[in-house]
Structure 1
Amino acid sequence: MIKTLVYVLLILIGLCISPLIIGQSGYVYIAIGEYQIETSLVAAIVGLIVFYFMLQLAEWLLVLLLNIILSSRYLPEKWRKKAAKKYTLAGALAIAEEDWPAAEIAMAKGAKQGEIPLLNLFAAARAAHYQGKTTARDHYLTQAEKNPIAKIAVDTSRARYFIKQGELAKARAIVDKLSPTSKSSTPVLKLAVDLYQQQQDWSALKLILPIIAKRKVLEEDELESLSTKTNTTLLMDAAKTSEAELEKCWQWLSKDERKQDELVIAYAHGLNILKLHDKALKILYKRLKTAPTPVLFSALPDLINADDIDIRQLIDRLETTHANDVNYQTCLAKLAMQQRNAKQAKEHWQNVCRIAPSHQSWLALAQVQDQLGENTSAAQSYRNAAIKI
C-alpha cells in the first residue's frame, strides 16, 4: 500500500512540473567527429532513459540465450543425477524391506551418477552378498576401491563377507594386511577380535587385548569374559606342551590376572596334567587361605584327591565362616564322596538342599541315601528332585 502511494505521488509531481520543464526545455549540443546532434534537454533525458532500458533488454536477452544454451547442453546430466537420486531412494527402501535383488539393481544404477557413489556401491555389494552373488559383490567392492579413501572400508567389508562365508584363511590375509594396532579404527579391531576367536588363535588375541581394553572396543563384562577365556585356553594349551611353556604362559599374565580364580584353577589343572600335583596343591592352598571364593570351592573336588590331607584340613576349618555357602557345602559333599564317606556326604547334601534346593542336589542326596540303604528317605528325595525339574 505504501509503495503504491509513493508511485502515485511521483506521478502527480511529474504532472505538476512537466509544464515548467516543457516551457523551459533547455538546449543540448553533442559533437562526435563529423557528427553533430542538437536537441532539447527533455529529449536528451528521454533518449538516455530509452537507451538504458534498451541496454537492460539486451542484457536480459543475452543471459536468457546463454541459459538456454547451457541448460540444453547439461540437461541430460541433470536428468541422470535426478534419476540416480530416485534409484538410491528406491534402493534404500528395498534394503529396509530386505528385498535384496531390488536393492542391488537400484543401488547399482544409482551409483553411476549419484552424489555419493561409494554409498551405492557398498549397499549394492551388501545386497549381492545376501543373494550369494559373490562375483557381483566383489565387482562392486573393486569399483569402490578405486576411491583411495575407501580402501580400509573395502578391506574390512571383504573380510567380514569372507568370515560369513567361512573362508577364514582369506579373511585372515586381509586382517594381517590391515595389521591391527592401537592406531587402527574400531571396526578393524572388532574384525580382528571376531576372526581370531573363530580361528582360535588365542596368542594373537592375547596381543591385542590391551588395545581392546584401552580403546574400550568391547563392553567391560564382555572384555573380562573374553580375556579370561583367552588366558585359560592359553594355559591349558601350554600344559599340553611342557612345563616350561606352562610357566612361560603363567608369567605372561599380569599380576592381577594371576589372582583371578579362573586362571589359578586353569594353572592348577595344567600342573596336574604335567604330574606336578604338589605344586598345584601349593598354589591352591595359598589362594584358598587368602581368598576362598565360590568359584574355587566349585573347582576343588576336581583338583585334589583323597590323600591331600593338608588342604582338606584347611577346607574343614572354613566351615565356621562358610556354613551357609551352598558352593562350600557342595564341595565338602564331593570331597566326602572321594573318601567314600557316605554319611558325611549325606549331611552336606542335606545342607545344600536346605540352603538352595535344586534338582541336582536332591538327586545327589537321594543317591547317597540309596547307598546307605535309607530307601524311604531316598524315595522322598527322588520325588523332590522330580519336582525341581
Structure 2
Amino acid sequence: MFRILLLLLLLAVALFAGPHLAGNQGYVQIILGHYSVEMTVVSAALVAVLGYFGLLLLEYLITRLFSLGSRTRNWFGLRRSHKAVQRTRKGHLALATGDYRQAERLMAASAADSEFPLLNYLGAARAADAQGRGEARDRYLQEALAHPEGSLAGGLLAARLALRNQQPELALAQMTPLLAEHAKHPRLLTLYQRALLAAGRWQELIDLLPQLQKLKLLTPEAVSQLQQQAYPARFAELAEQGSQPLLDYWQGLAKPLRQQVALRAACCRQLIRLQAHDAAETLLREGLKQSREPALLALCGQLQLTDYQPLLTLLQQYGPDQDNEAALLSAQGQICFHQQHYPQALQLLEKAVTLAPNPRDYQLLGQLMERQRLFEKANHYYLAGLQLTA
C-alpha cells in the first residue's frame, strides 16, 4: 500500500512540475571515476522511477526463489494431509461394514498425517481387536493413550475391549486411574459398574450403586435388581469367614435393605449352610412378623432347632391368605414333622401339595407313609416328588 501511494505521489508531482520545467529542464551530471553521465532532470527522474520499479521486480524474484522450497514442502504436506483424510474416511466406512483388515490398514497408514491421529488409532485398535490381533490392538491403544487428549477416550476403549474379551480385571485396571480425574463421567461409571459386576467385586459394586442412582445412570428398579444380585454374593463371601462376620454385616445394613425379603432370605440361607440355625431362626421370625413371603416360609422347614414352638406359634397366628396359603401350610407341616407331630404334619402337608406341589413336601409325605408301612402310597409320593425335579 505504501509503495502504491508513493508511486501516485510521484506521478502527481510529475504532472504538476512537468509543464513548468519544460522550458527550463536543467541537467544532472553524475561523475564516477573517469566516467561522466549527463542528462536532463526529467530524464534523471524517469531513470530513478524505472530503477525503483526494477528493484521491486528484483525483490519479488528473489522472494519467489527463496520461498519455492517452502511452498513445495507445503504442497506435499497438503497432499499427504488430503490423502490421510481420504484414507481415514474409507477406514471408518470399512470399520462400519465389518471389513476389519482393510479398516486397520487404512487407519494405521493415515494416522501420522491425520489431523486427528487419536481417532485413527482408536479405530485401528477396534479393527485389530475384531480380528483377534491382540498385540496390534495394544500397540494402537498405547499410541492413543500417549496423545494429549487420548487418556479418557483410549482408556474407555481399552476397558470396553477388555470386557468384550472377558477380562474384567484388566478393564478395571484401565479405568481406576481415570476415575480420579473423571469421577462423574457417565460412560466411565457405567462401564466401571459392568466391570465390577463381571469381576464379582461385590462390595465395590454395592458402594458404587448410590452414586449411579444419584447421577440418574440407573433407575431405582435397576438398582434393586443389582442389589439382589450383589448382596447375596457378598453374603456368600462373608460366610466363608464364619457366621459372626455375616451377622455383623447384616446388622450394619440400612433398614430399607434389611426389610427386603430377598436379601433377608439370602442371609438366612447362608446361616443355615453354616449350621447357625438359631441365628437364622431369629432373622426369619423378624421377617415373618412383617410379612409371610414364600421366600421366608420355605426356609422354616430347613431349620434344625431344639425348640420350634416360638416359630410355629408365629405361623399359626396368620389368618387365611389365598396367595401364600400353600407356602404357609408347607412350613407348618415341615415344622410339625421335625417335632415328630406326625398326624398333624401329614394333614398339613397333604393340603399343601394339593394347592402347590413341591418335592420337599412329597418327600416328607413319603417318609410319613413309610412310618405307617403304607409302602405303595409312600412310593407314589416319592415318584411325584421325583417328577417335579426331573
TM exceeds 0.5?
yes
Task: Check whether the contact 1:190–1:217 (CA below 8 A) recurs between aligned residues.
Answer: yes
1:34 aligns with 2:18: yes
| Cα distance change on mapping 1:325 and 1:243 into 2, 3 Å | closer
Identical counterparts, % of pairs: 24
3-state SS, counterpart of residue 321 of structure 1 = coil
- Once the two structures are superposed, residues 46-90 of structure 1 have per-residue CA deviations (whole angstroms, 9 ceiling, x without a partner) of xxxxxxxxxxxxxxxx9xxx9xx9997755445444433433333
Q: Which moved more, 1:223-232 or 1:84-93?
A: 84-93
TM-score by length of 1: 0.67
> 1:157 — aligned with what?
157
Encode CA deviations 1:201-233: one digit per residue, 9 max, x unaligned.
223223222212212333433321222333333
TM-score (norm 2): 0.67
Q: CA 1:263–1:354 in structure 2 vs 1: closer, same or farther (change >3 Å)?
A: same
Distance 1:226 1:323, change over 3 A: closer
Which residue matches 2:122? 122
**Aligned mates of 2:182, 2:92 — CA distance in 1:** 34
2:207 matches 1:207: yes
Between the aligned partners of 1:35 and 1:147, the Cα distance in structure 2 is 73
Q: 1:97 to 1:365 in 2, by over 3 A?
A: farther
Instruction: Provide the residue aligned with 1:146 in structure 2.
Output: 146
Using a 3 Å threshold, how does the CA distance of structure 1 residues 197 and 239 change in structure 2: closer, same or farther? same
Question: Do the aligned partners of residues 85 and 175 (structure 1) sit closer, same or farther apart at CA in structure 2, a change above 3 Å counting?
Answer: closer
Say if 2:226 is the partner of 1:226. Answer: yes
282 and 381 in structure 1: CA distance in 2 versus 1, 3 angstrom threshold: closer
Change (3 A) 1:292 1:225: same
Q: What SS does structure 1 have at the residue aligned with 2:255?
A: coil
Residue in 1 that maps onto 2:255: 255
Cα pair distance change 1:352/1:77, threshold 3 Å:
farther
Instruction: Go from structure 1 to structure 2 and tell me whether the alpha carbon gap of 1:184 and 1:274 turns closer, same or farther (over 3 Å shift).
Output: same
Instruction: Supply the RMSD in Å over aligned alpha carbons.
Output: 4.3
Change (3 A) 1:283 1:82: same
Preserved CA contact (<8 Å) 2:196 2:205: yes
Deviation at 1:336, TM superposition (A): 4.6
More deviation, 139-148/341-350: 341-350
Q: Deviations over 1:80-112 (max 9, x none)?
A: 444334333333333233232122112223434
1:31–1:191: structure 2 CA closer, same or farther, 3 Å change rule? closer
Aligned mates of 1:381, 1:273 — CA distance in 2: 25
SS at match of 1:148: coil
Corresponding pairs, count: 332
In structure 2, do the counterparts of structure 1 residues 344 and 96 end up closer, same or farther at CA, with 3 Å as the change threshold?
farther
Q: Is the 8 A contact 1:180 1:189 kept in 2?
A: no
Asked if 2 retains the 8 angstrom alpha-carbon contact of 1:145 and 1:151, the reply is yes
Q: Structure 1: where are the runs of 5+ without partners?
A: 1-29, 37-61
Cα distance change on mapping 1:119 and 1:342 into 2, 3 Å = farther
Unaligned stretches of 5+ in structure 2? 1-13, 21-59
SS in 2 for 1:33: helix
Q: CA separation in 2, counterparts of 1:153 and 1:267? A: 41
TM-fit CA distance, 1:126: 0.9
- Offset of residue 318 of structure 1: 2.0
What is the identity, as a one-letter code, of the residue corresponding to 2:143? Q
Structure 1 residues 308 and 350: alpha-carbon distance in aligned structure 2, compared to 1, 3 A threshold: closer
Q: Is the 8 A contact 2:101 2:131 kept in 1?
A: yes
Alpha-carbon separation, structure 2, partners of 1:287 and 1:340: 26
| Aligned match of 1:94 | 94
CA–CA distance in structure 2, aligned partners of residues 212 and 96 of structure 1: 31
**1:23 equivalent in structure 2:** none
1:300 aligns with 2:284: no
3-state SS, counterpart of residue 15 of structure 2: strand
Whole-angstrom distance in 2 between the partners of 1:87 and 1:346: 80
| CA shift in 2, pair 1:149/1:291, >3 Å | same
Q: Who is 1:44 aligned against?
A: none
Kindly provide the amino acid, as one letter, of the partner of residue 117 in structure 2.
P
Distance of 1:256 and 1:293 partners within structure 2: 17
Are 1:283 and 2:303 matched, yes or no? no
